[in-house]
Structure 1
Amino acid sequence: MTHPQLIIFDCDGVLVDSELLSCRCLCDALAGCGIEVRLDEVLDRFLGRSMDAVLEYYRNGGRSLPEQFAADLAAKVRETFRAALCPIEDIGSVLEGLPIAHCVASSSALDRVALSLSLTGLARHFDGRLYTAQMVDRGKPAPDLFLYAAGKMRADPRHTLVIEDSVSGVQAAKAAGMTVWGFVGGSHYQMRDGAGTLRDAGADRVFARMADFWRTEQ
């Protein structure tokens, strides 16, 4: 797709290099509840998923998490982001003067997305066009969030391009009838076969550098 009506960006792992930071926080929080889980397991299970999906996973496994778990984890993630969060390399150049309508659709909470974009200087590129799983009944991999965002932006899903880094996000975009490019340039893919995984999930293209965003593949 060379001339989309709308580009929808995921936030974590696409705009900001946050996935390893947040997944390490989740590992530590789970350990505090007596649940030992490796970082690679957290990435496999929860990359691109909402907090509700995390809570549901353990509830279904008979390990309901404490009532304050989500709030305590969110506070730890905010502290970590303020100390270490960086934008994805070259994303600013992609967004600067982008002539196509664009927005964010993320599984993260709205306040976390807003903080991430503010800390990395990217908020000005979206002017409040932020949509999150809190706004729909079903999060990714259901198509609800992407369809909601397209509706708010008055764009045809068939002419919408999604940039995603997770299997659940790719699946959600395809279920919404959209074109999706998988991005594997985040630090969480340095030791993982992200390209193969996202292609298997249905990504129409996979790329690893934002500098190659518009480059035609040979």
Structure 2
Amino acid sequence: MDQGRSKPDLIIFDCDGVLVDSELLSCRCLSEVLAEFGIVLSAEQALELFLGRSTKAIEQHYRDLGQAVPDGFLPRLKSHVLKTFEGSLQPIPGIAAVMSELRAPFCVASSSDIDRVSLSLDVTGLRGLFDGQIYTAQMVKHGKPAPDLFLYAASKMGAQPARTLVIEDSVSGVLAAKAAGMTVWGFVGGSHYRARDGLAILSAAGADRVFAHMSDFWKEA
């Protein structure tokens, strides 16, 4: 697919930072829960280290530092994130309108677990758009930036990687999509990019295009 100029056979959306404006919320939750266990990590550092990554990546990061996270960390983090999302999570502006106009099949492929993705889509009113077509890192051996999740989603949806378009907000997601042989557009309209140069960050990672407003979804594509 040439930079999206020909319409794709499948569009894969990341969830966090693309469908829902969750990245800052989840990084704050991670910082707060780590602090409860005596580990210091600011929300800004969490954003740099773990944007678009799974909880396995968090555990591996601290194992590599010789500082394994305690047994109760993941359940506590999940509980805190879900509670925070229930009260504060908002959809990305304009995403519902974009999706209502799509003619190509689409699905979600997220590094988050199925409970978090389901809640995110429920509280933002987007769940009904996906009709169960939700794929998460729990379903594959290797999460982003490995291509496994995107290849798995495309296979399940019956699409060829070369005819698949991915919408991503993270470097790890862009790298995963490119490794899968897919076209990837970087989206930088989430609140976590207000103080960061998302265009430079995602372009450097290999995004075929970067845009900041869902109203521009097909413009210059």
TM-score by length of 1: 0.98
Residue 118, structure 1, aligned to residue 127, structure 2: no
CA shift at 1:194, angstroms? 1.1
Out of 97, 100, 115, the residue aligned to residue 96 of structure 1 is: 100
Give the Cα separation in 2 of the matches to 1:150 and 1:47.
23
Q: Deviations over 1:97-153 (max 9, x none)?
A: 421100000000011101100110001110010000000000000000000000000
TM-align CA RMSD? 0.8
Percent identity over the alignment is: 61
Q: Deviations over 1:34-65 (max 9, x none)?
A: 11112221111000000000011001111111
Aligned equivalent of 1:128: 132
Helix, strand or coil: the match of 1:15? coil
Residue 175, structure 1, aligned to residue 179, structure 2: yes
Query: Where does structure 1 differ by over 6 angstroms across 4 or more consecutive aligned residues?
Result: none
Out of 159, 163, 170, the residue aligned to residue 159 of structure 1 is: 163
Helix, strand or coil: the match of 2:40? coil
Give the Cα separation in 2 of the matches to 1:67 and 1:152.
34
Give the Cα separation in 2 of the matches to 1:113 and 1:126.
11
Out of 186, 199, 218, the residue aligned to residue 190 of structure 2 is: 186
Out of 17, 22, 36, the residue aligned to residue 13 of structure 1 is: 17
Q: Is the 8 A contact 2:27 2:44 kept in 1?
A: no
Matched pairs, number: 217
Q: Structure 1 stretch 61-70 or stretch 102-111: which is displaced more? A: 61-70
CA shift at 1:72, angstroms? 0.7
Aligned equivalent of 1:148: 152
Helix, strand or coil: the match of 2:60? helix
Give the Cα separation in 1 of the matches to 2:70 and 2:136.
24
* Structure 1, gaps ≥5 residues long: none
Give the Cα separation in 2 of the matches to 1:84 and 1:123.
17
Give the Cα separation in 1 of the matches to 2:44 and 2:13.
24
Give the Cα separation in 1 of the matches to 2:196 and 2:214.
18
Aligned equivalent of 2:218: 214
Helix, strand or coil: the match of 1:89? coil
* Structure 2, gaps ≥5 residues long: none
Helix, strand or coil: the match of 1:150? helix
TM-score by length of 2: 0.97
Q: Deviations over 1:66-87 (max 9, x none)?
A: 1111111000001000110000
Helix, strand or coil: the match of 2:59? helix
Give the Cα separation in 1 of the matches to 2:75 and 2:168.
26
Q: Is the 8 A contact 2:13 2:167 kept in 1?
A: yes
CA shift at 1:213, angstroms? 0.3
